[in-house]
């Protein structure tokens, strides 16, 4: 399996992370990609540089106002003269009877769902590069590759059409799926990150052409808390094309594989032409937040389960906090896929 990657991700190096009232350094660091690259090297995957696709693929998913905000944000922030070293909103309007703001502080609050997506001088460039990585992988699959892995950083599945959050700015998985839609009438996004793919769900919630499935730690006690419940099934034309499979905190190998079987049956009934895997490796037993407890050998089983779905597949990297096992888990899941294919 080929892997798409660019070093342009390094321009995004966030520092701020607020955890239960305590300010810490975020774990969404460039080193995360280094550990994933080690996993690709161990699996002997060929690295491919992305093609630059421009704004078009991003505009299929994200609103014009949001894209303008992200592209202009850092210059407007620094022009204030008394701003901090990163952009972190101090308001988060719920938009009830609200007016779209023109001031950068207001726009920052409007377009961020939480404080976990600080914007720095290189964030926009890195986020755009990540979408090019995802779209390149999707295009390679459309051109005949059976499966391609996209090492996207920053990640994307918490990003809505017009909101950043949870380390995410542009929704790489959604952008890849929209690109695949140029060839396939129906596409599935299967999110196996420990956190619910709330941004992806929101983007496609009323659409019947993209089926969103997420296996994640129970949001009753885990981020994002207010999305990711089993009763969220879509709305309007998209009713029935969203499936959430929340798992009890600490669920291990067998429970996770059972959830994969539920997802597989639902995906088969949708009869898609292609599959996007929003690949989180943070369901690991060694992940610092310990939401789930999947072992490295069972990441291989996850890869095998994905392969047996028999669909052209784009793996888009999402979560996976810094841990010694991160690269090994990536090697394991891709090896499992290749073995079962």
Across the chain, how many H-helices and E-strands are there?
10, 10
Helices 30-42 and 326-340: crossing angle in degrees, nearest 10, is: 40
**5 flagged as catalytic:** no
Contact between 241 and 208 (Cβ < 8 Å): yes
Give the position of tokens 């029935």: 240
Report the distance separating Cα 216 and Cα 40, nearest Å: 24
Distances, alpha carbon 330 to alpha carbons 211, 251, 262, in Å: 24, 20, 23
Closest alpha carbon to 318 in 129, 207, 156: 156
Structure token pair of residue 292: 């789930």
DSSP letters spanning 88-132: --S-----TT-----SHHHHHHHTBSSSS--B-TTHHHHHHHHHH
Bridge partners, residue 244, by sequence? 214
Closest alpha carbon to 202 in 159, 240, 251: 159
Report the distance separating Cα 198 and Cα 212, nearest Å: 10
Contact between 317 and 153 (Cβ < 8 Å): yes
Give the position of tokens 């129970």: 218
Structure token pair of residue 155: 């990640």
Closest alpha carbon to 90 in 71, 107, 103, 109: 109
Pick the catalytic residue from 5, 158, 179, 184. 158
Please identify every residue annotated as catalytic.
158
């Amino acid at each position: 399996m080929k892997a798409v990657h660019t070093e342009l991700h390094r321009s995004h190096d966030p520092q701020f992370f607020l955890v239960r009232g305590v300010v810490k350094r975020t774990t969404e660091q460039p080193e995360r990609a280094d550990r994933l690259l080690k996993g690709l090297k161990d699996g002997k995957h060929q690295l491919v540089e992305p093609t630059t696709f421009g704004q078009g693929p991003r505009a299929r998913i994200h609103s014009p106002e949001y894209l303008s905000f992200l592209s202009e944000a850092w210059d407007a922030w620094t022009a204030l003269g008394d701003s901090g070293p990163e952009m972190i909103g101090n308001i988060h309007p719920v938009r009830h009877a609200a007016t779209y703001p023109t001031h950068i502080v207001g726009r920052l609050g409007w377009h961020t769902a939480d404080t976990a997506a600080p914007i720095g001088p290189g964030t926009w460039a890195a986020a755009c590069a990540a979408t090019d990585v995802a779209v390149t992988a999707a295009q390679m699959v459309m051109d005949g590759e059976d499966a391609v892995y996209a090492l996207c950083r920053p990640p994307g599945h918490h990003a809505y059409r017009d909101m950043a959050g949870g380390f995410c700015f542009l929704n790489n998985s959604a952008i890849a799926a929209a690109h695949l839609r140029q060839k396939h009438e129906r596409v599935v996004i299967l999110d196996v990150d420990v956190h619910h793919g709330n941004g992806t769900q929101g983007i496609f919630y009323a659409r019947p052409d993209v089926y969103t499935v997420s296996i994640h730690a129970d949001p009753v006690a885990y981020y994002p808390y207010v999305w990711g419940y089993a009763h969220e099934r879509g709305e309007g034309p998209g009713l029935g094309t969203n499936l959430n499979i929340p798992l009890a905190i600490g669920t291990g190998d067998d429970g996770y594989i059972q959830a994969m079987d539920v997802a597989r049956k639902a995906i088969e009934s949708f009869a898609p032409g292609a599959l996007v895997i929003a690949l989180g490796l943070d369901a690991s037993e060694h992940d610092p937040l310990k939401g789930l407890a999947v072992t490295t050998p069972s990441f291989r089983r996850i890869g095998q389960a994905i392969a047996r779905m028999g669909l052209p597949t784009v793996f888009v990297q999402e979560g996976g906090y810094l841990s010694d096992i991160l690269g090994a888990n990536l090697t394991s899941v891709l090896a499992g896929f290749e073995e079962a294919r």
